[in-house]
Structure 1
Amino acid sequence: MLDLPPHAAEVAAEVTALADLPASLKERAEAILDHLRRVIPFQAARIALLDPELRQHDLLACHGYNDRIRAYMTTREDYDEIESLGLHGTTPLHVQDLPVPSEEIRSWMELFRPAGFREGLGIGLVTRDGHQVGLLGLNTDSPAYPSPAACQLVQLLAPTIAYAVDPLRSLTVLARIVRGMTAATVLTMSGGSLPLPGLPTHPLLEADSAVLSAAVAHLGGTPEYATFLAPYERPPAEAGHVRITLLGCEGPPPRHLRAVVAVGAPGNLCGLTGTELEILGALVDGAPTASIAVARGIPVETVERHLERVRIKLAVPDRITASLRAVREGLYVPTELAAVTRS
């Protein structure tokens, strides 16, 4: 039988319950620290989210540290030190358990110990499916704490805490609001992608795909939102297209998550053909008729006829209005994707 602190079962039940409450990540993190304080007498604590692209942590909840320590906690130097000491692992480590003596740890000797801390505990926040979310760190003014029983409790709760503050969970909820969504991913600041828990991915959403490159080009509004069409010949495509919807990741950290990119059925295309959707994409980009003709290798007169049919199908008075409606309703194929299709 595990040696746990008094009231550990009650605290564990409360942490498990709040993990699914409709609250922000910060609110969950703050509540978790409040519950832990009931069984672990710590003077300072942080829950930080991992930013693997910048190799830094973003502080989600942080209490009891001075400004110098808080500033250090968001640096790459702190990230590298934590990684080298094994604090991203799933076993809680005291300062006295670290692989090097505390006297050789610069941050401990220059920051934490002068601030009055005499012991600490750190553990990686890793979900049960192996997704690294961040770090839980506690510090005390007594070498007697955190106790071995407290370490046992922290180790048991760490996957639940990771689940509670995992930003990908919130983005999964965001992706599910997209009508007709069949697959989704998260675009990162570097242009890569991450899977969303419980959602399928899609060949068009693989890292370095043309669709993700187009997504980067179409983000930047406030709020960050865009929708367009991508050529695709397999289900859920209709008339050879799927709809791509972009939802910017605004608000809390981590900062390396840029946008949700969802794939779904194209919806009502107003009878527009593939060629007309691509010409609309060029029109959205501001290309003149002559440039569209040269790019597609067709006469200017043919482009004019296509544009007239587009105007009629969209029931708009002119090309400018056609372009505005195309942007608003995502009734176009971006130029970069049209070029991929014709290559």
Structure 2
Amino acid sequence: MIDKIKELISEAEAFKAENKDALEAYRIKFASKKGILNDLFSEFKNVPAEAKKDYGQAINALKTIVEEKIRSTQEAFESNEETKSFYGDLTRPGTPIELGARHPISLVKNQVINIFSNIGFNVSEGPEIEDDWHNFEALNFPEHHPARDMQDTFFVQTNPEMLLRTHTSSVQTRYMENNKPPIRTISPGRVYRNEAISARSHCIFHQVEGLYIDKDVSFADLKQTLLYFTKEMFGKSKIRLRPSYFPFTEPSAELDVYWGLKTETDYRITKGTGWLEIMGCGMVDPNVLKASNIDPTKYSGFAFGMGIERMAMLLYQIGDIRMFYENDVRFLEQFKSNF
């Protein structure tokens, strides 16, 4: 009889349940009212007195093994169920990852960079907290120019010589200090001006400014470069240059592109003229070259600058510049297909 119980102990220890049905069958076989343990305990009265101790120890050992096996297996099944309910069915295909979207400012900036990269312009970047020399003085701004006033520029309170850059031309001055001609670079970045926030203007916006310096650079080179850009960016081939003034270029001009008058929107954004101002440009003033230790008798160059928000508003027909900064998911999701 003891040998039979030892065989049952080995069987109970070796049992492994693949599912709850198998565990239930194991429980019924060993621990139910009609199970093996109950029969063994019923047989105890028929065991000779001298064998009762060994018999009792054997069936108690079997009972302990059976109960522990049932308990541990049941806990394992429950643990697996909790994991499955938390993570779902791990055998199913993964949930599709929702695509993000590039910001329209980034889309337009990258497009501008790609266009100018195709004709040899590299990308240069600089600090957003700038000093007076690189932001104003080296760019030929007079001492009392309105841009230097506090109502137009954010100055650092603890150091009046430091400010939030008002244009990315400051990057160009740094680039000219550290690089010798020929120079062909564009400077995209965020700039700051102390302006009232409205649907058409903001105190934070983005620019891309370009600079080309070499021997015998002429205004004709500037015109052809910008004509190439407007064709690639807007698909427009008709431009005009109007005289203007900037401290760091002479002569200076405003570039207009003929947008057309095909829709009501065209009439609104061009004020009924069909012409749309895109950027400012001009030949680099000799004083700017001197400030960066470039000989103006040997080298000449042109510069241009454009607002990214303005172009994004045109390309995507966005009527309010504030939408670029509100991080409204409903607005940003419209650009998911644009990468």
- Bigger RCO of structures 1 and 2 (CA < 8 A, at least 6 apart): 2
**TM-score normalised according to structure 2 size:** 0.24
**TM-score normalised according to structure 1 size:** 0.23
Determine which structure has more spread, i.e. the larger CA radius of gyration: 2
